[in-house]
Amino acid sequence: MSSVVKILVIGPKKAGKSTIANIIGEMAEGPSETYRPTVACRIIEHERDPPPAVASFGKFQLELWDVSGDFKYEKCWGPI
């Protein structure tokens, strides 16, 4: 059974949170030319190999929580 690491990507809207999540989650190689705001929260799941110093632990599941910075979703922030 692999370990799960959850990382929340938070900040103001249009700060580049989705771009960072997409690159780390290997869904994109760089920034997109099109701005698409995140609706509330988006979770990217990705299996990764650990760094060489802890390779004996095996692969781990990475969850990137891309949280919208738009204040119209602020009621979601507390539960997240």
Output the six-digit token pair for 69.
């910075």
Residue pLDDT, tens place only, 42-52? 999 988 888 88
Report the alpha-carbon distance of residue 39 to residue 66 in Å, rounded: 9
Nearest to 65 by CA among 49, 47, 45: 45
pTM of the prediction? 0.81
3-77 has which CATH code?
3.40.50.300
**What average pLDDT score do residues 45-67 get?**
86
User: What token pair was written down for 37?
Assistant: 């705001």
Residue with the larger pLDDT of the pair 65 and 2? 65
Digit-coded pLDDT (tens) for 7-44:
999 999 999 999 999 999 888 888 888 888 999 999 99
